Amino acid sequence: MTPLTALWRAFTFVPRTVAELVRCHSQLRRLGVLGMNHRNAECILDLNPRQAYPEVDSKSKMHALCEAIGVPCPAIYGRIATHSAMRHLPRLLQGRTDFVIKPDRGAGGRGILVVRERQGEDFVRHNGERIDLAGLQQHVSGVVSGLYSLGGNPDTALIQQRVLLHPAMEKISHQGIGDVRVILYKQVPAMAMLRLPTKMSGGRANLHQGGIGAGVDLKTGRTSRAVCRNRITDRHPDTGESLVGFQVPFWPEVLAMSVRVAGAVRLGYLGVDIVLDRDRGPLLLEANARPGLAIQIANGQGLRHRLEEIERELARSAP
């Protein structure tokens, strides 16, 4: 049995007795799987000071930070923070044929509306659906009301540059833009995966909605395995393209950007999401102070062993 198969079975096995539960727990520990409690207690609570959260949770604040440290991000065209400011939406969209509307403090990809072109008075979304100005205003109203924000608090709607699909990513994406998620531990890259949109996910690179997670080797930037909807796969379900052995473009730059952002936000356990734009190359999409653990499934290895390895590396390099 390969490590990936063992890890997959351990994750998906449902114990029915106390003895089975104990065996499952022991197997997960042997495989070095980082569990939710360990992540919350020893990574997030111990390493991520609460005062640093607002900067990471706000996309506009992260944008300002990245500008200050020289990390490129998608441009922000405008902001709408109140319902009364909705009257400015037509002016902010004037002359723009493509853009993205997203909540400033959203999570899990919720509330993101992508417009790829205009047809007359209508706007065409990434999936081909048409929406008029009133529909956009209704969406912005939901964002401002906090419909998609962390904790349901009132939020700000950002109008942002639409990232253009990099040619290398075309055959492994469906109606959307994939991104690279890098987990950093004490500012050292610990694990990475490529998140890819599918028809099932509605063109979003979200694993919980049916997107693909492909593990990326940190040294080479090549994908080694992939999963989709609790199934191991080696091909994209919509394009048929192989997901194994794909070389992520700009890999050294992606890692360097991740490390620079981790150092700037002062968080010891961080997820950094980077997109590859057709014209501008790697762009910082957002950072996450509470990154999920599905990256272990995508890579077929536990994260806890990698964190222990980083601790040893840091101890050896300490003066």
Query: Smallest Cα–Cα separation from 289: which of 34, 54, 31, 42?
Result: 54
Determine the residue type at 282.
Answer: P
pLDDT at 25: 53
Q: Do residues 252 and 270 touch, judged by C-beta distance below 8 A?
A: no
Task: Output the pLDDT for position 59.
Answer: 94
Strands 157-160 and 99-103: antiparallel
- With CA atoms as reference, report the closest residue to 261 among 65, 52, 43: 65
Rounded to two decimals, the pTM is: 0.88
Q: Which two tokens stand for residue 250?
A: 């700009």
pLDDT for 29 equals 64
pLDDT for position 6: 52
Q: At 154, phi and psi to the nearest 5?
A: -55, 145
Tokens representing residue 18 in the block:
């106390």
Question: Residue 91 in 3-state DSSP?
Answer: helix
**Chain CA centroid to CA 63, Å:** 16
- Other beta carbons within 10 Å of 95: 6
Residue by residue, DSSP assigns 148-165 as: SBGGG----EEEEPPPPB
Instruction: Find the helix or strand (DSSP H, E) in which 72 lies.
Output: none
For residue 196, CA distances in Å to 118, 178, 239, 243 come to: 25, 4, 12, 10
Q: How many CA atoms lie within 13 A of 29 on its CB side?
A: 8
Write out the two tokens for 126: 């990434």
Helix %, strand %, coil % for the chain, to 5?
40, 25, 35
- Could you tell me how many residues make up the chain? 319
Give the tokens for residue 35.
């569990």
10-residue block means of pLDDT along the chain (319 residues)? 50 56 58 84 91 92 95 96 94 93 87 92 90 95 92 92 93 90 96 93 82 94 90 90 94 97 94 95 94 90 92 88
- The encoded tokens of residue 75 equal 């441009």
pLDDT at residue 1 in the model = 45
DSSP state string for 154-214: ---EEEEPPPPBPGGGGGG-SSS--EEEEEEETTEEEEEEEEE--TTTTT---GGGT-EEE
**Other CB atoms within 10 A of residue 238 CB:** 16
Cβ-proximal residues to 58 (8 Å cutoff; 6+ apart), any chain:
104, 105
8-state DSSP, 4? H
How many alpha carbons lie under 13 Å from residue 207 in its C-beta half-sphere? Answer: 24
